[in-house]
Amino acid sequence: MNLFFSFSALVILILLAVIGVEAVKLEFLFGVIIPYVAIAFFLIGIIYKVIYWARSPVPFRITTTAGQQKSLPWIKNSKLESPNTTLGVIGRMLLEVLLFRSLFRNTKAELKKGPKLVYGSSRYLWLAALAFHWAFLIIVLRHFRYFSEPIPAFVPFLQNLDGFLQIGLPILYITNVLIVVALTYLFFRRLFDPKLKYFSLASDYFPLLLLLGIALTGILMRYFTKVDIVSVKEMAVGLFSFQPVVPEGIGVMFYLHLFLVSVLLAYFPFSKLMHFAGVFLSPTRNLANNNRMKRHVNPWNAPVRIHTYEEYEDEFRDVMKASGLPLEKE
């Protein structure tokens, strides 16, 4: 049901673009207006969301410690799993963001006869997630060769790195293969693992399908249907310099690719994809485990009802006296 909804949504989007460009000739709409609107949604949406999060304070320092605290000098502190300095926290965050440290811990629990529980390591999720994210990042960076003139220096570097296999013409980029394989794995995993299937929402399938759509249209364009790179670049540079132009004869595949990217951008701030920003604000990871060393202040720390020692002694004075406990007031 959730899958069906996501899938239909994607099909409708594809049809919209194809009909829009092929039949109705709305190149300007699909090539200029929609991308601009999408970018606006993307930027404003992200800023809005991050501000929305940041407006709430962090009342307590609730670090999840995954290693030895700093205590006695001769006990080795685990500086990255239980950091007590800002530097340590930065290290921990870098490990999370660049290498998905926590996901690397993943295990799979199995209950065997006996009963006997075993926890096997289970790193495919980690591997696929890492492959997808890095491939995605590199692909986005490679795209700068379309967006800016002159081409930034890192682009040829990435292209060489990515194409080091030197297979095919145009040269096959490893990231193109990786992203499709990884996304396909992540998608099928949701269908074939009953637990995941049970709790996956439409909004879990949709981004995967959309990203696959983007990747596949991109690949089709590069290796099969071919597009006129010069016109595409003209258009992209036009978009980014706010002097939009719609060159002739770019082909529907390009518009489809661009439209799906626009949908992704517009959808982004409203979706779980915001994890890319949220992970930096997650208080169990981005705070140091220095709780007893350094006081953390809660801006709304409100007074509460308390029971004072005086009230306590008033209630129990007789029994305290009888059993010889010292008193404030006789």
Partner 1 sequence: MSEFKAKPEELAEKINYKTPHKSWMDPYIEIKHGSFNYSGIPKNVEYLKLPNPRKWQPTEDEWQLPENWKEIILTGLKERLDKFRSLKIFMDICVRCGACSDKCHFFIGSGDPKNMPVLRAELLRSVYRNDFTTAGKVFGKFAGGRELTIDVIKEWFYYFYQCTQCRRCSVFCPYGIDTAEVTILVRELLNLIGINIDWVITPVANSFRTGNHLGIQPHGFKDSIDFAVEELETIIGIKVDAPINKKGAEVLFVTPSADYFGDPHYFTLLGYLALFHEIGLDYTWTTFASEGGNFGSFVSHDLMKSLNTKIYSEAKRLGVKWILGGECGHMWRVLHQYMDTLNGPADFLEEPVSPITGTKYENAKSTKMVHICEFTADLIKNNKIQLDKSRNDKLKVTFHDSCNPSRAMGLIEEPRYVINNTCNHFYEMPENTIKEQTFCCGSGAGLGTDENLEMRLRGGLPRANAVKFVNEKNGVNFLGCICAIDKATLPPLMDYWVPGVQVGGIHELVGNALVIKGEKERTTDLRGEPYVEKAKEEIETSTKE
Question: Which residues in 149-208 contact partner 1 (CB under 8 A)?
Answer: 193-204
Task: Examine residue 12 and tell whether it contacts partner 1 (CB under 8 A).
Answer: no
* Site map (CB under 8 A) of partner 1, residues 275-294, x = contact: x--xx-xxxxx---xxxxxx
Measured CA to CA, the distance from residue 139 to residue 227 in angstroms comes to 18
Query: Which positions from 197 through 226 interact with ligand HEM, judged by CB under 6 A?
Result: 204, 207-208, 211
* Site map (CB under 6 A) of ligand HEM, residues 132-151, x = contact: -x--x---------------
The amino acid present at 56, given as its one-letter code, is S
Query: Which positions from 59 through 98 interact with ligand HEM, judged by CB under 6 A?
Result: 97
Task: Examine residue 117 and tell whether it contacts partner 1 (CB under 8 A).
Answer: yes
DSSP SS3 for 51: helix
Measured CA to CA, the distance from residue 234 to residue 229 in angstroms comes to 8
Q: If you write DSSP's letter for every residue of 276-324 in order, what string do you get?
A: HHHHHH-TTTSS-S-TTTSPPPPTT--------HHHHHHHHHHHHHHTT
The size of the chain, in residues, is 330
With beta carbons less than 8 A apart as the criterion, state whether 247 and 234 touch.
Answer: yes
With beta carbons less than 8 A apart as the criterion, state whether 51 and 43 touch.
Answer: no
Of 244, 233, 195, 216, nearest to 36 by C-alpha is 244
Report, in Å, the least distance between residue 241 CB and partner 1.
31
Q: Give the one residue of 30, 41, 100, 206 binding ligand HEM; rule: CB under 6 A.
A: 100
Q: Give the one residue of 37, 273, 274, 320 binding ligand HEM; rule: CB under 6 A.
A: 273
3-state helix, strand, coil in the chain (%, to 5): 60, 5, 35
Q: Give the one residue of 16, 39, 50, 103 binding ligand HEM; rule: CB under 6 A.
A: 103
Partner touching 203 among ligand HEM, partner 1, none, CB below 5 to 8 Å by kind: partner 1
Measured CA to CA, the distance from residue 156 to residue 178 in angstroms comes to 19
Task: Examine residue 28 and tell whether it contacts partner 1 (CB under 8 A).
Answer: no
Burial of 242 (0-12, 13-18, 19+ CB in 10 A): exposed
Judged by CB under 8 A, how many residues of this single chain contact partner 1? 103
Q: Give the one residue of 36, 53, 276, 316 binding ligand HEM; rule: CB under 6 A.
A: 276
Report, in Å, the least distance between residue 210 CB and partner 1.
14
Partner touching 298 among ligand HEM, partner 1, none, CB below 5 to 8 Å by kind: partner 1
Q: Give the one residue of 28, 53, 157, 164 binding partner 1; rule: CB under 8 A.
A: 53
